[in-house]
Amino acid sequence: MKKNKIFAGILVILVFMLNSCSDKEEKKQNSAEISVSQEMTAELTAPPNVPRPIGRRKAKKLIVDMEILEKEGTMTDGTTYVYWTFGGSVPGSFIRTRVGDEVEFTLSNHPDNKLPHNIDLHAVTGPGGGATSSFVAPGHEKTFSFKTLNPGLYVYHCATAPVGMHIANGMYGLILVEPEGGLPPVDKEYYVMQGDFYTKGENGEPGLQQFDMQKAVDEDADYVVFNGSVGSLTGDNAITANVGETVRLFVGNGGPNLVSSFHVIGEIFDNVYMEGGMKMNHDVQTTLVPAGGAAIVEFRVDVPGTFILVDHSIFRAFNKGALGMLKVTGDEAKTIYSGTKQEGIYLPEGGGIQTMPDDGKVKTETASTDKTLEEKMESGKQIYMNTCFACHQAEGQGIPKAFPPLAKSDYLNADVNRAIGIVLNGKTGEITVNGEVYNSVMTRQSLSADEVADVMTYIYNSWDNNKTNVTKAQVEQVKSGH
């Protein structure tokens, strides 16, 4: 009797699986047979914007024209990089289609570009996802067509050898294939895509940086960012919503190497279309987005404030750039959240590696060319924004009860050498600044003598401080203990 029940259970499962496979094949066949009678030009958008929803429109012949551009852009303040792009942005232009569309895709390679490229769209059923039909030299264009058979959110990327290099330089984006009848309506939609970058210089090193193949092979990323650069979704670039609105994020991961643990601090995803398909999960805190994969997340914003988008492999967020902001405005909802907000604390800390205070001596450096005060201020501001900003804030105001102010600081201005020593060696324990007691930890900053001199000069010449011009020799003297 027991064996019969087990056998019957297995039989039910097999029948269900066979029916499920049959249903999927039937749906795919039905998609292939959907006829198109009209033609329209696709609306393409740069991140974080997305084209208008498909809604209930019928399948059409969809004309997609995309241009490849190799162009210099900003990776972070003071650091630039030559990106290879689809449509001039990283990630590339967002493409929005529906099941049954016949997409006529023209890929143009700008004549000023140096390299041939192609495109592999994961939404394509066909050799190379279109790559075999779209290999195009600078100054030329290629056209091919495909039928959208499967609904979902799909990655596209360049597949020209060496494939990893082309993806690592920014050649990826998302194409959405909506189901018949469209996705359920929401109030706000945004396009967010993660990527990892590998540069000859370390994180935050100024100037034009070149791609480093060995770092890429070793998966040793200098930057892990949303939408192509550090700060692309922070400050004035933050995405926005109002209390009570529903937000849908189309989240992709171009890689080329790292998996994303996508999380929004202070929110829970009501719905997650797992791996960009049509299967939905609910009440999710963090969702994995594989390299070359995607997910759709939806949630309702119930309280105002700044909600932080991160890769929860958390050092990538605070030290390599995988961080964004969703700014929500509207009335408080005290029954949901009554705590005190602190805006601005969750910002990239840059590439400066920090350690706890110790008594170790730092190796003395060789002398370098003297800088003007203007040059030191420019360099010092960049260092400050990369390493000090999160705790001490943009105007040196600090964070009440947590981190002391640097602006108009009696403690800072009273003893320059003491302040230099704190930057070099860190500090723990109580200090009194402008009449307020603080008891926190200042980590030792791994900065060169030149960098310490520059950032201290910037601080002392800002925010009504005493205008000391800190020299490299002064920093080295403090290092040596004299």
pLDDT in tens, 4-43: 666 666 665 655 555 655 555 666 668 888 989 899 999 9
Spatial strand order of the sheet with 239-242 comes to 239-242, 323-329, 305-311, 260-265, 286-289
| Binding site per annotation, positions for Cu cation | 117, 122, 157-158, 166, 171, 312
- What is the reported pLDDT for 92? 98
DSSP 270-329: EEEEGGGSS-EEEEESEEEE-TTEEEEEEEE--S-EEEEEEESSTHHHHHH--EEEEEEE
The C-alpha atoms of residue 413 and residue 195 are separated, in whole angstroms, by 42
Handedness of CA 259, 264, 266, 270 (dihedral sign): negative
- Lowest mean pLDDT: which of 113-117, 227-231, 449-453? 449-453
Per CATH, the number for 39-178 is: 2.60.40.420
Fold of 188-329: Immunoglobulin-like (2.60.40)
Percent of the chain with pLDDT over 70: 87
- What is the reported pLDDT for 345? 43
Once rounded to an integer, what is the mean pLDDT over residues 189-211? 96
Domain ranges of the chain: 39-178, 188-329, 357-480
Return the CATH number of 357-480, one of 3.40.50.150, 3.20.10.10, 3.50.50.60, 1.10.760.10.
1.10.760.10
β-strands 436-442, 427-433 pairing:
antiparallel
CB burial class (10 A; 0-12, 13-18, 19+) of residue 327? middle
The C-alpha atoms of residue 43 and residue 85 are separated, in whole angstroms, by 18
pLDDT tens digits, one per residue of 390-448: 788 888 998 777 789 999 999 999 999 999 998 888 888 889 999 988 887 777 777 88
| Binding site per annotation, positions | 117, 122, 157-158, 166, 171, 312
Handedness of CA 315, 318, 320, 322 (dihedral sign): positive
Q: Tell me if domain 39-178 and domain 357-480 are identical in fold.
A: no
